[in-house]
Amino acid sequence: MLTVNQLHPVFAAEIIGADLTQPPRDELVRTVEDAMAKYAVCVVRTASTDDDDHIRFSRAFGPLELPPSLRRGGVKRRTRPELFDASNLDENGEIIPYSSERRKVAKGAERFHSDSSFNNLPTKWSLLLGHIVPPEGGDTHFIDTRAVYDELPQETKDRIENLVAIHDFWRGRERTGLTGVTDEMRKTMPPIPHTLVRAMPYGRNALFIGGHATGIVGWPEDEALALLDELYSFATREKFIYVHRWQQGDLVIWDNRCTLHRATPLETSAYKRDVRRTTIMEYGPERSADAVAA
């Protein structure tokens, strides 16, 4: 029996009783889709930690967005090629030291963002599975940007109604301290425009901002960043944030069209953290982000 329990006053829920070791039945698909439309973030408890089960379940809701080849960079993969590896482990399963340059690259994920907003793909959901969860640290924070939009002053809604933001992965990373970005790197994932107000399929509007939003079409950079930072500050107030404290086997699903999330740093090299993500699109063939950009 499937049970859905709300986890936060504004949004987020847990789904109990889902068996991901079997091909998803219609009842499970409907339950998840309905819960995601209502809560935007859902936690499937005690999910299977088998990669095949994770991938099969994800594909029941849309085609996969595959990890950019840039991120593979010739390094031996530790996980299946369909999966984004968000762990603190190297290709041999050993802990990457907290002070390592490889860990610093992920610093941008500590700022609230929407996965793949820097792509022109119609990204839908991300599904992050906890294979090894540390005993402390590594929480993930989420924001429902539908609720944020609802609470914006009317004058702000009017001001942003027809604005188009520029989402730029590399510029966003530079704003968090990344250096050494080359022109070749920028070509792999060039800036992409998205409307600041995003209409969801079921009629609600969401504020589409986050760490990758670094400009506004037709605006000077300083004015654009001032408005985007103002909206970011409004959206990241505590009342809008759900803090997910991971349990072993949690599969956390969030809708990238209407949520923001951030990783909190695991400021230690004492614990392994093995989390793997699929991201799905609304439609289209399965393909990598950088293949589309090219």
pLDDT of 218 strictly over 70: yes
16-20, 62-66, 102-106, 222-226: least confidently modelled range: 102-106
The average pLDDT across 35-41 equals 98
| 260 within 8 A of 142, measured Cβ to Cβ | yes
User: Which of 152, 163, 153, 162 shows the shortest CA–CA distance to 235?
Assistant: 152
CA distance 190 to 290: 9
CATH number of the domain at 222, please: 3.60.130.10
pLDDT band at 43; cut points 50, 70, 90: very high
Quick one: pLDDT band at residue 278, thresholds 50, 70, 90?
A: very high
pLDDT tens digits, 177-213: 788 888 888 888 889 999 999 999 999 999 999 999 9
Q: Which amino acid, residue 88?
A: N
As a whole number of angstroms, the distance between CA 108 and CA 84 comes to 16
What pLDDT sits at residue 277? 97
Cβ distance 140 to 252 under 8 Å?
Answer: yes
Q: How many domains does the chain have?
A: 1
Task: Locate the DSSP E strands across 139-240.
Answer: 140-144, 164-167, 192-195, 197-199, 205-207, 213-216
Distance CA 127, CA 203 (A): 23
CB contact at 8 A, 50 and 22: no
The boundaries of the domain holding residue 183 are 3-293
Structure tokens at 98: 């907290």
Query: Three-state secondary structure along 53-79?
Result: HHHHHHHCCCCEEECCHHHHCCCCCCC
User: Which residues have CB under 8 Å from 269's CB, separation 6+?
Assistant: 88, 95, 96, 97, 98
Residue that has been written with the tokens 């400021």 in this structure: 267
**Residue 19, helix vs strand vs coil:** coil
Query: What pLDDT digit, counting tens, does each position of 130-183 carry?
Result: 999 999 889 999 999 999 999 999 999 999 999 999 999 888 888 877 888 888
Tokens standing for residue 235: 């959206």
> What mean pLDDT is reported for the chain?
91
CA 59 to CA 52: how far, in whole Å?
11
Q: Which percentage of the chain shows pLDDT scores above 70?
A: 92
Q: Residue 110: pLDDT above 80?
A: yes
